[in-house]
Amino acid sequence: MVGKLCVVTAGMFAFGYALIPLYKHICELTGINVLAFGESQVPGGARVAANTQVDLTRTITVEFDANARGPWAFKPAVSSLKVHPGELTTVLYEFQNTQGRRMSAQAIPSYAPRQAASHFNKVECFCFNQYTLDPGEKKQWPVAFVIDPKLSKDVTTITLSYTFFEVGSGTPPAPTAAAPAPTGAAG
């Protein structure tokens, strides 16, 4: 009896291990579960899916501007690019701390024309964070963006401008409202 149970148990394990390749083979033969295949393996499937969101009929010139408030060397790697709406584009900005001390800073973006701001979608941007650079340290950070194809067709040029400024110890505190002094005696 024990021998028969051991044979049955071993047969169950062998069948369990054989199910995976057997299942894959059956799915390949019948075409079931094509989602498990890569795009190139799907019968009749495209090799590379095209991005249908890109509007190839339009070209927009994006100009890059950099301003530094304080002792920074700050500039884009390119001054302008021509992009299609819906196309993912990445541009690098170069930073250098020219002070003899460690500094923290952050960038604030602005757009021209103003209507472009809501259609200029940044996927990745150095402006999302504050950065600390040691004296003389240089860095490059990316801006990855997509211009929404819904942008008005009369907009052919967008200027993306960043102002890079020191944060922390070098920034004066915001003014506080002082309590008004009493004017007169209570009667």
Instruction: Supply the pLDDT for residue 35.
Output: 45
pLDDT at 31: 62
Q: Which whole-number Å values give the CA distances from 69 to 65, 74, 167, in the listed order? A: 13, 10, 11
Span 85-99, pLDDT tens digits:
988 889 998 988 888
Between 178 and 73, the more confident residue is: 73
Can you give the pLDDT at residue 4?
93
Calculate mean pLDDT across residues 126-153: 87
3-state secondary structure of 120: strand
Class for the domain spanning 60-167: mainly beta
Which residues of 7-156 form beta strands (DSSP E)? Answer: 60-69, 72-76, 80-83, 89-97, 103-112, 120-125, 131-133, 138-147
Instruction: Give the integer Cα–Cα distance in Å for 146 and 81.
Output: 13
The DSSP result for 60-90, as a single string, is EEEEEEEEEESSEEEEESSSEEEE-TT--EE
Omega into 113 within 30° of 0, i.e. cis?
A: yes
The pLDDT of 1-16, averaged and rounded, is 91
Determine how many CB atoms are found less than 10 A away from the CB of residue 72: 21
Residue spans per domain, the chain: 2-41, 60-167
pTM of the full structure: 0.59
**Separation CA 64–CA 92 (nearest Å):** 10
- Is the confidence at residue 63, as pLDDT, over 90? yes
- What are 11's two structure tokens? 């047969």
CA neighbours closer than 13 Å in the CB half-sphere of residue 174 = 3
Query: Cα angle at 178 between 174 and 182, to 5 degrees?
Result: 175
Task: Note whether 140 and 148 are within 8 A (CB).
Answer: no
Mean pLDDT along residues 142-169: 86
Report the pLDDT value the prediction gives residue 33, as an integer from 0 to 100: 56
